[in-house]
Amino acid sequence: MSIADTPTKHPVALALEEKIRSRTARAGVVGLGYVGLPLAVEFARAGFPVTGIDVSERKVGDLNRGVSYIQDVPSDVVAPLVAGGKLRAVTDYSAVRELDTINICVPTPLRKTKDPDMSYVVAACEQIVKHLHRGMLIILESTTYPGTTDELLLPELEKSGLRVGEEFFLCFSPERVDPGNKNFQTHNIPKVVGGVTQSCTQMGALFYSQALKTVVPVSGTRVAEMVKLLENTFRMINIGLVNEMAIMCDRMGINVWEVIEAAATKPFGFMPFYPGPGLGGHCIPIDPFYLSWKTKEAGIEARFIELAGQINGHMPHFVVDKVQKALNDCGKPVRDSRIHILGVAYKRDIDDVRESPALDIMLMLKRLGGRISYTDPYVPSLHVDGIDLESAPLESSLEDADCTVIVTDHANLDYEMVVKTARLIVDTRNALKKWPAPHVVRL
């Protein structure tokens, strides 16, 4: 018998369980971004009536028209759910009064001081508690530090006078969205969930099991919160290691890509990670610092995290240095050189530019006097951090550029044409592995 099937005895719990099993529970999702919208769609597809709550009137309006603004969620999936009354969106938290479950999927950014900004979570919780009623399941999915659910949400929700584990149920479940991944999406990525009490864990696991393929219950919220941080810290540190290896290999005249490829033939004890121009997205560059901040409270220094952060943060500077040297070898300074950036999304085949290293690279080259342009089939325009550009036609841009920098290796680009057309290329992703040429400079 799984933990999700274990019967609970309290009448309120039994009533909520019955609603969940019959899929008549009215589900709510707070925050309709890259995490919240896919989750809302999965529960609506499973038959639950779903209400999304978001402060953005644009998102709410688009969704109620059946229009998706998230690349991984096609409009032709959203539209019939809206038309069938299974999915709707509102800006008013009073809708909470009608709901049985709520998943909180709001942003948790870092401040400039690298401590967590919990204002979005706190604001959502303050609104929810105004309308909290008996028999509700609340699940936080926003990535955060261990202890957030117990220390921040629970006291706020208990102001309602309701008892956790009996009259309402509180869990944490880390989001595991991987934008652009065709093989693993919300419905088939295993879902970890931990509750404040055992009955909370049971309720959360039961709820997720109605719409998602695999549910992994853990002993509590702190374990579930730490799971997410371990996953992304693991990636961050290993990327930091291989980025440092790339810098060392560059100084010693060794092809780091060949080194990694050969090392990856070892059938045990090695997992290949690859260098790049820097970390991007909302998770890997940010999440490990929640853990670093929290451990400082306990008097522990997270040295691996801090060091990896420094190395990864240096990579855009390393790329700019490569561009400067490549142009210098051609007798050109960066100033007044036409430098074309190929790919500005933070990873291949997506339209997300959050924390993209391309932005730092473009700004640094611009400050050095470079004349910057870019092409990205997924990002038609870029208006952020002092950059105000439109994506330019590729072939003519390559012909005009003094140097082309491959920052994001989108799969649908004609790289053979890039090699034949561009005068000078700095390839930060090994995208031109099949087309070695003397005018190609690799990371």
Taking only the tens place, the pLDDT of each residue in 307-342 is: 888 999 999 999 999 999 999 999 999 999 999 999
Is the pLDDT at 3 greater than 80? The verdict is: no
- What's the pLDDT at 9? 67
% of the chain residues with pLDDT over 90: 83
**C-alpha closest to that of 315 among 259, 245, 376, 255:** 245
Domain ranges of the chain: 3-219, 239-442
Kindly state the tokens that stand for 52.
């999304």
Range scoring the smallest mean pLDDT among 6-10, 74-78, 115-119, 190-194: 6-10
- What's the pLDDT at 385? 78
Is the pLDDT at 346 greater than 60? The verdict is: yes
Q: Do domains 3-219 and 239-442 have the same CATH topology?
A: yes
The CATH code belonging to domain 3-219 is 3.40.50.720
Is the pLDDT at 1 greater than 50? The verdict is: no
Mean pLDDT across 147-160: 95
Mean pLDDT across 30-53: 96
Strand order from edge to edge, sheet including 425-427: 371-375, 338-342, 403-406, 425-427, 440-442
Higher local confidence (pLDDT), 179 or 66: 66
Tokens 């009215």 locate to 26
Contacting residues for 7 by C-beta, under 8 A, at least 6 apart: 14, 17
Q: Give residue 431's identity as a one-letter amino acid code.
A: A
> For residue 4, what pLDDT band results from cuts at 50, 70 and 90?
very low
Query: How does strand 136-140 pair with strand 50-53?
Result: unpaired
Domain 239-442 superfamily per CATH: NAD(P)-binding Rossmann-like Domain (3.40.50.720)
- What's the pLDDT at 31? 96
Within 10 A of 389 (CB to CB), how many other CB atoms are there?
16
- What's the pLDDT at 116? 82
Query: Is the whole model's pTM more than 0.85, yes or no?
Result: yes
Is the pLDDT at 285 greater than 80? The verdict is: no
Cα separation, 229 vs 210, whole angstroms: 26
Mean pLDDT across 259-270: 97
**C-alpha closest to that of 220 among 192, 239, 247, 187:** 192
Average pLDDT, the chain: 93
Mean pLDDT across 82-102: 97
Range scoring the smallest mean pLDDT among 58-72, 276-290, 379-393: 276-290
Active site residues: 283
What digits encode the pLDDT tens for the residues 42-72? 999 999 999 999 999 999 999 999 999 998 8
